[in-house]
Amino acid sequence: MTDAEVRDAAIEALDSLPDWAREKLGDVAVIVEESHPDRLMGVYDPVGGIKRIVIFRDANPSAAEVRRTVLHEVGHHFGMGEEHLGELGYG
C-alpha cells in the first residue's frame, strides 16, 4: 500500500469509531511511517508532549490490516492490554 492508501485506511478506521471514542481520543496524532526495526505493525506512544499512534506501512499490507492495527492501538490508548485486545479480535 502507498502512504496515501495507508492514511486513507487509518482515517476510515478512526471515522468508524463511535462518537464518544473519537471525542476521548482528543489530540492523539496518527502517523504513518515506513517501517519499524522489529517489524511492528503499529505502536501507541503516550510519552512526551504528543500522544501518538504510529502505523508502519510495510507491516500493514491491506486496508483491513491497517484498520485492525489502528483499532488495536486505540485500545491501548484506552488502557487495554494485549490479552483483552486479543479477546476482542484485535490481538
Query: Model confidence over 11-70: pLDDT tens digits?
Result: 999 999 999 999 999 889 999 999 999 999 999 998 877 899 999 999 999 999 999 999
**Domains of the chain: which residue ranges?**
3-81
What confidence score (pLDDT) does residue 89 get?
Answer: 87
Residue 80 pLDDT exceeds 90: yes
What confidence score (pLDDT) does residue 60 get?
Answer: 95
3-81 CATH fold:
Zincin-like (3.30.2010)
44, 49, 52 from 55: Cα distances, Å: 9, 19, 10
pTM recorded for the entire structure: 0.91
